[in-house]
């Protein structure tokens, strides 16, 4: 990878500013948890795994600045830090997974002095970043063989290195296929309204010399009908116990079109994206974002002033449209509930 999505450097958090891509490769530095929270909310960092890493690092920054004499006082303030970060993006379960992991570390080491606890939290945040890269490589190892030689792959939004600590989930599968020597072609949906496919997926695939063709969202079905797409691979922000999957808005449409055209539709995600507390996707909270994201592009108005807008950031694809869920522990097919629970030992 020729860029870093997020890293802990000199006791600060450094992130590539994804709102500036592809025009500018800018890195922002954050010294406190409120800055990290705003970066998550403002889409400077996005993608479920990357949000999880950012949340953990934000908690570590917050813990560093807490002034307390006892563990109870420290932990109460740490919970406030976690609450602020937890209110940023409601759909991506990795956010809450990372926060809970950080809180457990604090509780497990409550007998230590507070400076030692702060160091443990910093180490845990860095471990989450390191683990994510290894997990994405494993997702790629399991998913790469699903893409055939000469395969034409459609992906939606950005589930690449920019959405993770590096390598990617959906793009990790694509990268693994490319690295194995397969001559593949990627079709990237532009992904309105934030244009993550146009701005981010196309940018990072081009940087890695992986052949990519950008298409508008409403072209996907026609290309499938013409036989120009062999499979679809997307990421996920939350997966319910039955396999229903929340991902960037527009994913459901791609999945339905793939089913109609008898094209495999795969979801690539780490086990940390599973939310087995939810029986189906009907219970997944869907974030609604500001209307200006739809009525403007980079600050330029494209719609009548005052028009009514709906802007859900995610949709839910029912499990019946999903050919397989690719995780770091293997590919799950068929009885998603039974197999997903088996993956996590439930």
Q: What is the pLDDT of residues 42-89, one digit of tens each?
A: 999 999 999 999 999 999 999 999 999 999 999 999 999 999 999 999
Asked, for residue 1, whether it belongs to a domain, the answer is no
Q: Tell me: do 183 and 273 sit in the same domain.
A: yes
**Per the structure block, which two tokens stand in for 117?**
């606890």
Q: For residues 159-183, give the mean pLDDT.
A: 97
**Per the structure block, which two tokens stand in for 255?**
């999945």
The predicted structure's pLDDT at residue 211: 98
Asked, for residue 31, whether it belongs to a domain, the answer is yes
Residue that is last in its domain, among 98, 120, 137: 137
Q: Tell me: do 110 and 226 sit in the same domain.
A: no
Q: Tell me: do 94 and 231 sit in the same domain.
A: no
Q: Tell me: do 152 and 280 sit in the same domain.
A: yes
Q: Tell me: do 56 and 110 sit in the same domain.
A: yes
| Domain around 95 | 6-137
pLDDT tens per residue across span 115-156? 999 999 999 999 999 999 999 999 999 999 999 999 999 999
Q: Is the pLDDT of residue 256 over 70?
A: yes
Q: Is the pLDDT of residue 180 over 80?
A: yes
Residue 1: pLDDT band by 50, 70, 90 thresholds? low
Q: Is the pLDDT of residue 2 over 90?
A: no
Q: How far apart are CA 114 and CA 106, in angstroms?
A: 9
Q: Considering only CA atoms, which of 129, 126, 155, 130 is closest in space to residue 143?
A: 155
Asked, for residue 70, whether it belongs to a domain, the answer is yes
**Per the structure block, which two tokens stand in for 90?**
């409601």
Q: What is the CATH number of the domain that holds 195?
A: 3.40.50.10470
Q: Tell me: do 210 and 121 sit in the same domain.
A: no
Active site residues: 237
Q: Is the pLDDT of residue 185 over 90?
A: yes
Q: For residues 257-284, give the mean pLDDT.
A: 98
Between CA 3 and CA 285, with CA 92 as vertex, the angle to 5 degrees is 155
CB within 8 Å of 108: residues ≥ 6 apart: none
The predicted structure's pLDDT at residue 334: 87
% of the chain beyond a pLDDT of 70 = 100
215 and 140 in contact (C-beta within 8 Å)? no
The predicted structure's pLDDT at residue 56: 98
The predicted structure's pLDDT at residue 346: 76
**Mean pLDDT score of the chain, rounded to an integer?**
97
The predicted structure's pLDDT at residue 259: 98
| Counted domains in the chain | 2
Q: Considering only CA atoms, which of 98, 23, 72, 90 is closest in space to residue 288?
A: 90
Q: For residues 89-102, give the mean pLDDT.
A: 97
Residue that is last in its domain, among 137, 156, 171: 137
Asked, for residue 206, whether it belongs to a domain, the answer is yes
């Amino acid at each position: 990878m020729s860029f870093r999505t997020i890293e802990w450097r000199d006791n600060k958090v450094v992130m590539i500013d994804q709102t500036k891509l592809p025009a500018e490769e800018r890195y922002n530095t954050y010294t406190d948890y409120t800055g990290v929270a705003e970066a998550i909310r403002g889409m400077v960092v996005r993608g479920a795994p990357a949000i999880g890493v950012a949340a953990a690092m934000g908690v570590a920054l917050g813990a560093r600045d807490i002034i307390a004499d006892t563990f109870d006082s420290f932990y109460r303030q740490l919970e406030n830090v976690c609450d602020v970060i937890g209110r940023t993006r409601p759909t991506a379960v990795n956010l809450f997974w990372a926060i809970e992991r950080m809180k457990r570390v604090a509780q497990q080491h409550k007998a230590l002095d507070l400076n030692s606890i702060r160091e443990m939290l910093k180490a845990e945040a860095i471990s989450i970043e390191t683990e994510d890269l290894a997990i994405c490589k494993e997702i790629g190892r399991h998913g790469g063989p699903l893409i055939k030689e000469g395969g034409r792959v459609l992906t939606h939004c950005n589930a690449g290195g920019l959405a993770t600590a590096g390598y990617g989930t959906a793009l990790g599968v694509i990268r693994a296929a490319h690295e194995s020597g397969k001559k593949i072609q990627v079709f990237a949906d532009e992904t309105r309204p934030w244009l993550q496919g146009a701005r981010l997926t196309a940018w990072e695939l081009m940087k890695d010399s992986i052949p990519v063709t950008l298409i508008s969202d409403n072209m996907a079905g026609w290309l499938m009908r013409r036989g120009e797409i062999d499979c679809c691979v997307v990421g996920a922000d939350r997966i319910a116990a039955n396999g229903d999957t929340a991902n960037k808005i527009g994913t459901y449409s791609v999945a339905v079109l793939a089913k109609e055209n008898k094209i495999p539709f795969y979801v690539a995600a780490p086990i940390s994206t599973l939310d087995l507390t939810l029986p189906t996707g009907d219970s997944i909270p869907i974030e609604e974002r500001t209307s200006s994201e739809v009525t403007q592009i980079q600050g330029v108005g494209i719609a009548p002033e005052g028009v009514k807008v709906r802007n859900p950031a995610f949709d839910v694809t029912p499990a019946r449209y999903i050919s397989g869920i690719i995780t770091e522990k293997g590919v799950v097919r068929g009885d998603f509930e039974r197999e997903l629970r088996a993956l996590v030992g439930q």
